Structure 1
Amino acid sequence: MRALTGRTALVTGGSRGIGRAVSQRLARDGARVAVHYGRDEVAAKETVTAIEAAGGQAFAVRAELGVPGDARALWEAFDAQADGLDILVNNAGTDGPRVPIGEVTEEGFDRVFAVNAKAPFFVTQESLKRLRDGGRIINVSTGLTHGAAMSELIAYAMTKGAIDVFTATLAKDLGKRGITVNAVAPGAIDTDMNAGWLRTDEEAWQATADMSPLRRVGEPRDIGDIVAFLASDDSRWVTGQWIDATGGALL
């Protein structure tokens, strides 16, 4: 039997990049996966189709995050296709305005916090009435919270600092239900979010690879496999942790 057979998972931002890798890996391990997306319906359908073609089970859930009523809309869409939850992966996010601190606007600041910090809080709050005892909550953080971030990513890093606090506090609160809560902290991963500066610049690619002792750039599946471990029974004694998934870039 596969490790997650009989369990239901929701992956926010599950249609692309790290989210797609997580969705596919959880499905491969036997979970029925709700692939959440905000706007890119084509990518969500492609992810669901790929999962089903590989013998897994999945369905798409649409809800724009970072707007009023987002958590309620997400769970209403989920409830229409599933009964109860075992694994919640808070992955959806935006890097916000990549500009120096002096050029960050209130609107841009509020937007990145709404998507990256407020939405996971209320999505998780709404999940607790659906999440079965012994369940798993996995939050996607960033290696940038352990050290000074680039000025252009200061607002983004601040949102993930909030996620780190949320993770530890929630783990302590939900332990009595046997629910574990952990954060996975990627470094620079080869995804569409980073395509503009990473894939188009040979020097940036090499410099990013050189930050890791493993001498390569991280891939979405590297994160998906870590999430799968945290979603499984093998991680039952791990909770409240910030898991460095930077490939050793912080050493």
Structure 2
Amino acid sequence: MSKIALITGGNRGLGRATALALIESGVEVIYTHRGDPGEKIDAVDLPLTVGDLDSYAAFEVALRAVLADRFGRTDFDFLVNNAGVGHAATIADTPVAAFDELFDVHFRGVFFLTQKLLPLIADGGRIVNLSTGLTRFTGEGVYAAYASMKGAVEVFTRYLAKEAGPRGITANVVAPGPTATEFGGGHLRDNDGVRAHLGGLTAMGRVGEPADIAGVITALLGPGTGWVTGQRIEASGGMLL
């Protein structure tokens, strides 16, 4: 029986790359999106606004229906909490509205969506939460709010690993370094100067690509990593060593 993964924000960027990598490895994929589901792939797409807790009940109903009708199951195996939004500003210039959106999506949403879905994750399953290298280094100094939310996710993941461990469920964090996606306006993907500058700060001499991060997530969901839990795995190409 094939494994089933649920990826939030799987319609673009790291989420889409992860969906494609998992499909290639033989995993069935369900992914969420807010708005456009993106280019069609061999996966089930379900709408979800992670920052809107009131939408979770309807999402659970839709997810249960997909699991039963398409896969003949009542549970799934892997949860990848990937959905995110970006906002860059100094502490002095961070608006309350931007802070609240970051909080709702990156921490409140991750916490309570995981709470909602834990009963649907099969024993022996895996959870991967996305963080950022910016919880270790401060970058350009304009990501205090964003990185703080991700720092909270890292602490949450350790508690989650302990609580879910008796069921054989692992929980880990993947913390990407600078990666060329459309996140935050796509500067890392489209601006050669930014790519060269940040790539020069890594041991590997380049910024990451979505497939680099997808490979790490896929490995954590693979059969050989069941003894790894409660860990932060930074995938940054050796940023600022």
Pairwise TM-score range, normalised by the shorter structure = over 0.9
What amino acid does structure 2 have at the position aligned with 1:69? D
Is the aligned partner of 1:158 residue 2:157?
no
**RMSD of equivalent CA atoms:** 1.5
Counterpart CA distance in 2 for 1:201 and 1:7 is 38
How far off its partner does 1:69 sit?
Answer: 1.2
Which runs of 5 or more residues in structure 2 are unaligned?
A: 68-73
Rate the CA distance shift 1:207–1:123 in 2: closer, same or farther, 3 A: same
| Residues paired across the two proteins, number | 235
Counterpart CA distance in 2 for 1:250 and 1:235 is 27
How far off its partner does 1:129 sit?
Answer: 0.9
1:74 corresponds to which residue? 59
What amino acid does structure 2 have at the position aligned with 1:11? I
How far off its partner does 1:194 sit?
Answer: 4.2
How far off its partner does 1:76 sit?
Answer: 2.4
1:33 corresponds to which residue? 29
Q: Which of residues 126, 133, 136 in structure 2 aligns to 1:146?
A: 136
Is the aligned partner of 1:12 residue 2:2?
no
Q: Give 3-state SS (helix, strand or coil) of 1:126's partner.
A: helix
Rate the CA distance shift 1:7–1:199 in 2: closer, same or farther, 3 A: closer
Is the aligned partner of 1:110 residue 2:100?
yes
TM-score, scaled relative to structure 2: 0.92
How far off its partner does 1:146 sit?
Answer: 1.2
CA contact (8 A) 2:18 2:211 kept: yes
Which runs of 5 or more residues in structure 1 are unaligned?
A: 53-57
Q: Which of residues 161, 176, 182 in structure 1 aligns to 2:172?
A: 182
How far off its partner does 1:149 sit?
Answer: 4.9
TM-score, scaled relative to structure 1: 0.89
Percent identical among aligned pairs is 40
CA contact (8 A) 1:138 1:182 kept: yes
How far off its partner does 1:135 sit?
Answer: 0.2
Counterpart CA distance in 2 for 1:173 and 1:106 is 32
